[in-house]
C-alpha cells in the first residue's frame, strides 16, 4: 500500500528536508509560529533517527494546507518528491488535483432474459429494455456529476456476436458523453472478446479502447497535462487464464495510476476463473485504484487502495438480486471516495413468509397480496417468494397446483405500472417435523429411501436430468445446473417423496 509520508526536519529550521522549501523572509516568522502550533499536538508517525527527521503521515500534511494557503506554497516552493505527486500548481496556489470518474463493468447489453414465455408481452418488453435503460442512466449520471471519464471494464455486450442494437445504443451514449467532454476507456471481457466481433461499429474519438491481450497504458489529459495513466487489456478469446496482474506495472509519471482488470480472485472459484489475481499481487503493483469487472456481485475488496467490483448494471436472474449499478469515484481530501449509484430498471428480490398459520388454500391469496405489499419499494421487482411451513400442507397444495394458480391469479392483477411487483417464482419449504436422522436409522421404507438418496452420485444424477438437457427445444432455455442448484433439486426431490411416503401412510 502506498504510504504518503512527509519528511520534516528538526524543529529549528522547519525546512522540508531535501526539497528546498524556501519561505519568503518576511513570512518566515509567522509561518514558523503557525507550523509549530500545528505540529505541537501531533505525534510523528515515525522517527528517522539516523537523519534526525520526524516523519508525518501525508494526511496530516494535507490538513496543514488550509492553514498555509498562498503565498507559502507556490509552484517553486512546494517539494516535488513522490509523495507530492498529487499536487497541482496553478498561479502560485496549491490545490489538490481533482479527479472524478465512473467505474462500471458487465453491462451485458441486450441480455435476452430467457425462459419468460409465460410473462405478459408488456412485462417481457420491460425486461428486454432494462439493460439499455440502465446504460442510459449510466450516461446521465456521468453527465450530471461532470466526471472526467467513464471506465467500462469488460462484458459490455452479452454475446460474442455483438448485437447491432447494442452497438448502436452504446455509440449513442458515447456521443452524448463526447458533447460533454467526457472520455471513455473500454476493455473487452470474456463475453465480448475481440475475436468474436462481427460488424464492428466505430466509436467517436472520446472513446479509448484497449485492443490487445497485453496490458497497455493510456493517458488521461487535462489541458495538456497528464492527470492519470489508465492501464488495461482486452480478451482476444473467450478465456484468459494467464495471470495478467503481473503485467500491470506503473509506467510514465502521472498523479494517478488506475488499473482496469476483468478477472477473478484466484480463490473465487464459483465462477469461471479468468485472469486470476491475489490481493497481495494487486497491492504490490501500487496502483491508486483497481477497477475490476467479471463478477456480477458488487464487492469492495479493499479501501486503500480501492479495489472494487461494481457488479453488473441490471440483474438478469435471481442469482443477481438486489440493487445494481456503478461507482462514482472522486479524489477528495487525499483519498478516493467511492459511492455506489443504482442504475437498474428493476431488481430481483427474495422474501420468505411463514405460512404455519394458513389453514385453508383460499388464504393463499392474502399471503401473496400481503407479501407484495410488504416488499414493494420505489423500483419494480421480480420476486422469488419462499413459503415455509412444517405441516406438509404447502407441499400438498403445491402438488395439487394450487400454489401456482394463486400466484398466477395475483400476478394477473398486477398493472405493471410504476413500482410493480411480479411474483416470478414461489419456492415451497415445507420442512417436516419428523426427525430425518431417526427415520434414516429405521427399518421403515422411508429409512431405506433416505439411505439410498444419499448415495446418488453426480453421474447418476446426470442420467436423470440428461433427457431434459438434450431435449431439442427445452435445452435452448436451460442453463447448466451449478452444484448449488443440483443440491437444491436433490433436496426438494427428497422432501417431495418423503412427504408422499409419510402422509399417505404407506409404511
Q: Is 192 in the site for Mn ion (CB under 5 A)?
A: no
Classify 213 as helix, strand or coil. coil
The residue at minimum Cβ distance from Mn ion is: 155
Q: Is 349 in the site for Mn ion (CB under 5 A)?
A: no
Size of the site for Mn ion (CB under 5 A): 2
CB of 344 to Mn ion, least distance (A): 15
> Quick one: 155 or 349, whose CB is closer to Mn ion?
155
The interface region with Mn ion, picked from 105-113, 338-346, 433-441, 496-504 by CB under 5 A, is 105-113
Binding to Mn ion by CB under 5 A, coded x per residue (else -) over 48-87, reads: ----------------------------------------
The interface region with Mn ion, picked from 101-109, 268-276, 424-432, 465-473 by CB under 5 A, is 101-109
> Quick one: 155 or 320, whose CB is closer to Mn ion?
155
> Quick one: 106 or 320, whose CB is closer to Mn ion?
106
> Quick one: 155 or 495, whose CB is closer to Mn ion?
155
Q: Is 110 in the site for Mn ion (CB under 5 A)?
A: no
Packing angle between helix 445-454 and helix 483-503, nearest 10 degrees? 170
The interface region with Mn ion, picked from 153-161, 212-220, 264-272, 492-500 by CB under 5 A, is 153-161
CB of 191 to Mn ion, least distance (A): 5
Neighbours of 163 (CB within 10 A): 17
| Cα–Cα distance for residue pair 211/173, rounded to 1 Å | 20
Long-range contacts of 112-121 (CB under 8 A, 24+ apart): 112/158, 113/316, 114/477, 114/479, 115/477, 115/478, 119/422, 120/416
| Cα–Cα distance for residue pair 11/13, rounded to 1 Å | 6
3 DSSP 8-state letter: -
> Quick one: 235 or 336, whose CB is closer to Mn ion?
235
Half-sphere exposure of residue 230: CA atoms within 13 angstroms, side-chain side: 27
CB of 155 to Mn ion, least distance (A): 3
> Quick one: 159 or 323, whose CB is closer to Mn ion?
159
Contacts of 437 (CB under 8 A, 6+ apart): none
C-alpha cell belonging to residue 118 = 409465460
Q: Is 320 in the site for Mn ion (CB under 5 A)?
A: no
The interface region with Mn ion, picked from 30-38, 151-159, 233-241, 347-355 by CB under 5 A, is 151-159
- Taking CB under 5 A as the criterion, the residue among 79, 106, 387, 424 binding Mn ion is 106
Sign of the C-alpha dihedral computed for residues 302, 306, 307 and 309 taken in this order: positive
Only one residue has cell 445494481, namely: 324
- Taking CB under 5 A as the criterion, the residue among 16, 54, 142, 155 binding Mn ion is 155
The continuous run of DSSP H or E covering 32 comes out as: helix 25-39
Contacts of 238 (CB under 8 A, 6+ apart): 160, 190, 193, 196
Provide Rg for the chain, Cα atoms: 30
User: Are 247 and 216 spatial neighbours (Cβ–Cβ below 8 Å)?
Assistant: no
> Quick one: 155 or 424, whose CB is closer to Mn ion?
155
Q: Is 160 in the site for Mn ion (CB under 5 A)?
A: no
| Cα–Cα distance for residue pair 320/316, rounded to 1 Å | 6
CB of 262 to Mn ion, least distance (A): 8
> Quick one: 173 or 293, whose CB is closer to Mn ion?
293
> Quick one: 333 or 479, whose CB is closer to Mn ion?
479
Q: Catalog residues that contact Mn ion under the rule CB under 5 A.
A: 106, 155
Amino acid at each position: 500500500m502506498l504510504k504518503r509520508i512527509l519528511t520534516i526536519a528538526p524543529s529549528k529550521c522547519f525546512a522540508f528536508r531535501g526539497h528546498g522549501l524556501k519561505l519568503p523572509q518576511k513570512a518566515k516568522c509567522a509561518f514558523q509560529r503557525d507550523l509549530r502550533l500545528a505540529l505541537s499536538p501531533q505525534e510523528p508517525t515515525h522517527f528517522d533517527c539516523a537523519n534526525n527527521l520526524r516523519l508525518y503521515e501525508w494526511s496530516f500534511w494535507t490538513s496543514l494546507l488550509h492553514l498555509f494557503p498562498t503565498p507559502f506554497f507556490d509552484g517553486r516552493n512546494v517539494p516535488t518528491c513522490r509523495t507530492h505527486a498529487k499536487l497541482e500548481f496553478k498561479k502560485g496556489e496549491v490545490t489538490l488535483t481533482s479527479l472524478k470518474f465512473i467505474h462500471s463493468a458487465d453491462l451485458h447489453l441486450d441480455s435476452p432474459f430467457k425462459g419468460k414465455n409465460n410473462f405478459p408481452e408488456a412485462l417481457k418488453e420491460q425486461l428486454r429494455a432494462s439493460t439499455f435503460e440502465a446504460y442510459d442512466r449510466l450516461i446521465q449520471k456521468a453527465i450530471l456529476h461532470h466526471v472526467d471519464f467513464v471506465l467500462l471494464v469488460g462484458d459490455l455486450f452479452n454475446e460474442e456476436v455483438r448485437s447491432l442494437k447494442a452497438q448502436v445504443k452504446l455509440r449513442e451514449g458515447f456521443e452524448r458523453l463526447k458533447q460533454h467532454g467526457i472520455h471513455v476507456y473500454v476493455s473487452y471481457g470474456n463475453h465480448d472478446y475481440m475475436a468474436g466481433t462481427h460488424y464492428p461499429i466505430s466509436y467517436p474519438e472520446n472513446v479509448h479502447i484497449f485492443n490487445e491481450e497485453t496490458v497497455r497504458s493510456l493517458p488521461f489529459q487535462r489541458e495538456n497535462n497528464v492527470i492519470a495513466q489508465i492501464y488495461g487489456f482486452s480478451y482476444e478469446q473467450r478465456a484468459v487464464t494467464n495471470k495478467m496482474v503481473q503485467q500491470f506495472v506503473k509506467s510514465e509519471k502521472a498523479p494517478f495510476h488506475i488499473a482496469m482488470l476483468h478477472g477473478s480472485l484466484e480463490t473465487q472459484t464459483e465462477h469461471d476463473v479468468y485472469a486470476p489475481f491475489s490481493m497481495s499481487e494487486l497491492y504490490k503493483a501500487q496502483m491508486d485504484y483497481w477497477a475490476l469487472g467479471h463478477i456480477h456481485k458488487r464487492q469492495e475488496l479493499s479501501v486503500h487502495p480501492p479495489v472494487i467490483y461494481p457488479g453488473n448494471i441490471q440483474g438478469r436472474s435471481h442469482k443477481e438480486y438486489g440493487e445494481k449499478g456503478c461507482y462514482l469515484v472522486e479524489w477528495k481530501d487525499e483519498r478516493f471516495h467511492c459511492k455506489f449509484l443504482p442504475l437498474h430498471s428493476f431488481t430481483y428480490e427474495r422474501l420468505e413468509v411463514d405460512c404455519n398459520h394458513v389453514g385453508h388454500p383460499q388464504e393463499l391469496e392474502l399471503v401473496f397480496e400481503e407479501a407484495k405489499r410488504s416488499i414493494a419499494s420505489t423500483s419494480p421487482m421480480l420476486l422469488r417468494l419462499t413459503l415455509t411451513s412444517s405441516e406438509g400442507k404447502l407441499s400438498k397444495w403445491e402438488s395439487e397446483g394450487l400454489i401456482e394458480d394463486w400466484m398466477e391469479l395475483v400476478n394477473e392483477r398486477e398493472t405493471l405500472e410504476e413500482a410493480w411487483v411480479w411474483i416470478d417464482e414461489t419456492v415451497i419449504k415445507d420442512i417436516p417435523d419428523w426427525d430425518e436422522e431417526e427415520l434414516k436409522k429405521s427399518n421403515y421404507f422411508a429409512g431405506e429411501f433416505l439411505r439410498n438418496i444419499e448415495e446418488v452420485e453426480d453421474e447418476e444424477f446426470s442420467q436423470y436430468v440428461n433427457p431434459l438437457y438434450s431435449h431439442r427445444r427445452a435445452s435452448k432455455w436451460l442453463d447448466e445446473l451449478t452444484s448449488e442448484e443440483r443440491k437444491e433439486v436433490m433436496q426438494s426431490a427428497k422432501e417431495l417423496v418423503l412427504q408422499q411416503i409419510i402422509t399417505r401412510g404407506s409404511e
